[in-house]
Structures are given as C-alpha cells and as structure tokens.
Amino acid sequence: MKVLDALFVKQFINLCDNGYKKGWHERNGGNLSYRIKDEEIASIKENLNEDKPWLDIGTTVPTLKNEYFLVTGSGRFMMNVKEFPESNICIIKLDETGSKFKIVWGLIEGGRPTSELPSHLMNLEVVKRRTNGEFRIVYHCHATNIIALTFVLPLEDKIFTRELWEMATECPVVFPEGVGVVPWMVPGGKDIAVATSKLMEKYNVAIWAHHGLFVTGPTFDITFGLADTVEKSAEILVKVISMNGGLKKRQTITTQNFIDLAKDFNVKLNEDALKD
C-alpha cells in the first residue's frame, strides 16, 4: 500500500490540520509523533527506503529499539501538512540501541524530524511501559489559553489540575489523574524531555510554562480530544478570571461535587487536587 493511503497516516494528517485550524500551530509551532503498529508497517513496507544513514536522537530510548514512528518535520508548518504531507512529515526507524534513527519515508525536500524528538520519544517510551503498549501518540501544541494561564497561576500540578477540573464538569472524567506542569525550560533538548517524561509517569497531560501543551493517548481522536478538552477548560478559566478581576469565583464545582462525580463515573481522581 502507498504510505499516504494508510489509515494511520490519514488520521495523523487530519490531527495536524485540526490543530492548525484551532490556532495552536502558528508558524512551525507544535509537533506530533505516532508509534506505528507492526501490521501497519508491514502494509507499507515496500514503499519505505531503509537504505539511509543513521543519525543521533540526542537521547536513548532502549525500549523503543527497532520501532517505526511517524513524526512531523523540524521547522515545518502544521498549516502545510494536509496539502504537502511528503514534504512535511516522515517515518523514522530506530536502531538496535534506541539511540539513533533513520528517515525511511517523507521529508522529500530534506530536513530532520521534529526538534522535540527527544521529548516525543522519551514520553512514548514512558507511556508505552505505563499502558502496556496501548498509548502510541504524543502531541505538542501551542494552546493559547493554557499558555496564558502559566503567567498567572502558580506553576503547581495540584493548582492547575484543580482549576482546570472546575471549569467543565467533564474534565475530571477526561483527565482524572490531573495535569503536570514543567517550569520554563529551553525547548528541544534532553533536559526538558527528562522533566516531561517524569510527569508522563503519572499524567497524560504536561503543560510547558509559557510554551504549550504535551498530551499522550492511544488513538488520534482521544489524544486530540484531550488537548481540546484541556484547552477549552483553560479558555473558560481565562474568561472567568477576566470577567471577575482575579481568581474569585462566585460559585464553582466543590470538592464534594468532585467526589460525587468520581463515584458515579467510576474514576479515581488525583487526591492532591482534591485537598482544599
């Protein structure tokens, strides 16, 4: 099968386009990675070119060795992925040690995979282990309202979790484990990758202060839906704060409400965020 005919490639491209339409991908902002299933690779194998040089990842991800990933290109614009996928995304294969990769399809005009490849692969490694292989997507976007909140809320997991939960009743059901926050760090390197992947041990959402959002999930819809839910909640919070001269709320979803909700929806909420 042609690579562009594969369903996972279509879904990947669709996510890029939906994120762009949301306004989360100005210029070359944001990136996406997908750990490809064996049967999906088998279906497109004849169209991959394995005769390529190995390049350094910049970190080591031993449990992802020999696996294939579909990723966005460094410096590429999400805006262009739908129209020109072969120029803007690529499939990479990792080597025996999980420290090198080669580009086996895509980026036909040259270039490298996303500048955040270390963060993507380290997060994919953590969530692969944590979910027994179920999670295979990591998505980074510059979600406007989440970024805005990192200028006014304390950069604490517990506070972001509680505030975001309070803004929409479905939030604690969609991300019961809460969200983690990474303080401002230089993007693109191993340090921010290590900090983010530590958070991915317990959360599916990591917020990068003054930068954006990292989310992970099992399917494209669920992963995008998670970013969408978190950002929608952040947008409501920005409106509430703006209307109300600060963080004072006249009424909100209370601790007892969350406990009742968790019981009915059968979810286990992050206990830290339930403490008043």
- Asked whether position 30 contacts ligand 2HA by CB under 6 A, the answer is yes
Which member of 18, 28, 150, 216 binds ligand 2HA (CB under 6 A)?
28
Which member of 31, 204, 216, 270 binds ligand 2HA (CB under 6 A)?
31
**Partner whose footprint covers residue 28, from ligand 2HA, Zn ion, none (CB < 5 to 8 Å by kind):** ligand 2HA
Site for Zn ion in 203-262 (CB under 5 A): 212
Site for ligand 2HA in 105-144 (CB under 6 A): 114-116, 140
The number of beta carbons lying within 10 Å of the beta carbon of residue 58 is 14
Residue with Cβ nearer Zn ion (118 or 212)? 212
Report CA Rg, the chain.
19
Contact status, residue 215 vs residue 230, Cβ threshold 8 Å = yes
| Cβ contacts of 38 within 8 Å, gap of 6 or more | none
What distance in Å separates the CA atoms of residue 43 and residue 159, rounded to the nearest whole number?
45
Token readout for 237 is 């919070």
Minimum distance from CB of 114 to ligand 2HA (Å)?
6
- Asked whether position 29 contacts ligand 2HA by CB under 6 A, the answer is yes
Contact status, residue 186 vs residue 205, Cβ threshold 8 Å = no
| Cβ contacts of 83 within 8 Å, gap of 6 or more | none
- Is 201 catalytic? The answer is no
Minimum distance from CB of 80 to Zn ion (Å)?
17
Residue with Cβ nearer ligand 2HA (189 or 225)? 189
What distance in Å separates the CA atoms of residue 89 and residue 71, rounded to the nearest whole number?
6
Residue with Cβ nearer ligand 2HA (31 or 43)? 31
Which of the residues 39, 40, 46, 116 is marked catalytic? Answer: 116
Minimum distance from CB of 19 to ligand 2HA (Å)?
11
| Complete edge-to-edge strand list for the sheet that includes strand 100-106 | 55-56, 100-106, 89-94, 68-72, 31-35, 137-141, 212-217, 205-208, 180-182
**Partner whose footprint covers residue 115, from Zn ion, ligand 2HA, none (CB < 5 to 8 Å by kind):** ligand 2HA
Contact status, residue 40 vs residue 105, Cβ threshold 8 Å = no
Which residue has 């517990």 as its token pair?
Answer: 158
Residue with Cβ nearer ligand 2HA (68 or 77)? 77
- Asked whether position 88 contacts ligand 2HA by CB under 6 A, the answer is no
Site for ligand 2HA in 159-198 (CB under 6 A): 187
The binding site for Zn ion (CB under 5 A) comprises 212
